[in-house]
Amino acid sequence: MSRRTVIQKRPVPPDPKYNSRLVSMIVRRIMRSGKRSLAYGIVYDAFDLIQERTGSDPLETFERAVKNATPLVEVKARRVGGATYQVPMEVRSDRGTALALRWLIQFSRSRSGRTMAGKLANELMDAANETGSSIRKREETHKMAEANKAFAHYRY
């Protein structure tokens, strides 16, 4: 990876049904082996399940789940004089969203259930209600940053 050039971020096109960039981002992370239509099917089925169970707008629930799962601080390893310190750093908004989507998908895959759509719907509803594994992961990340606040002066 080059140290000189800054790579331009490509804009994520919105999805066709909800016209949302966030939905398009989760579809791209669910997708495996280039099967995008299958990934869209999973996400849209999960949204239908959310609509059916809660009666509220699934896009709103999804956005609230991502917002709740987004970390504000994280720790990064920093070597200083032969010792490695876990230095707390603030998370940029695009990285925070990426981490939240990654955790939501990771923990929905590890859930028990029949279909991926059902597991994703359950994880999204739990995250929107401030419960679930992805929220626990965010709290864990925040606790580690809080515990290592003494090393904040090693920030780059």
Q: What is the pLDDT along the chain (156 residues), one digit of tens a residue?
A: 668 888 888 999 999 999 999 999 999 999 999 999 999 999 999 999 999 999 999 999 999 999 999 999 999 988 888 888 888 999 999 999 999 999 999 999 999 989 999 999 999 999 999 999 999 999 999 999 999 888 777 776
- Domain membership of residue 4 (yes or no) is no
- Domain membership of residue 12 (yes or no) is no
- Domain membership of residue 38 (yes or no) is yes
- Cα–Cα distance measured from residue 25 to residue 4, given in angstroms and rounded to the nearest whole number: 28
Q: Which residues are registered as beta bridge partners of 75?
A: 88
Cβ-based neighbour number of residue 9 at 10 Å: 7
Cβ-based neighbour number of residue 29 at 10 Å: 14
Per-residue pLDDT, 1: 60
Q: What is the CATH number of the domain that holds 46?
A: 1.10.455.10
- Domain membership of residue 105 (yes or no) is yes
Locate the DSSP E strands across 1-149: 73-80, 83-90
- What 3-state DSSP class applies to 88? strand
- Domain membership of residue 11 (yes or no) is no
- Cα–Cα distance measured from residue 110 to residue 103, given in angstroms and rounded to the nearest whole number: 11
Q: Which residues are CB-neighbours of 48 under 8 A, at least 6 positions away?
A: 58
- Cα–Cα distance measured from residue 83 to residue 81, given in angstroms and rounded to the nearest whole number: 6
Number of structural domains (the chain) is 1
Q: Give the tokens for residue 81.
A: 């004089």
- Cα–Cα distance measured from residue 156 to residue 146, given in angstroms and rounded to the nearest whole number: 18
- Domain membership of residue 9 (yes or no) is no
- Domain membership of residue 134 (yes or no) is yes
Domain coverage including residue 53: 21-154
- Cα–Cα distance measured from residue 24 to residue 27, given in angstroms and rounded to the nearest whole number: 5
Per-residue pLDDT, 17: 92
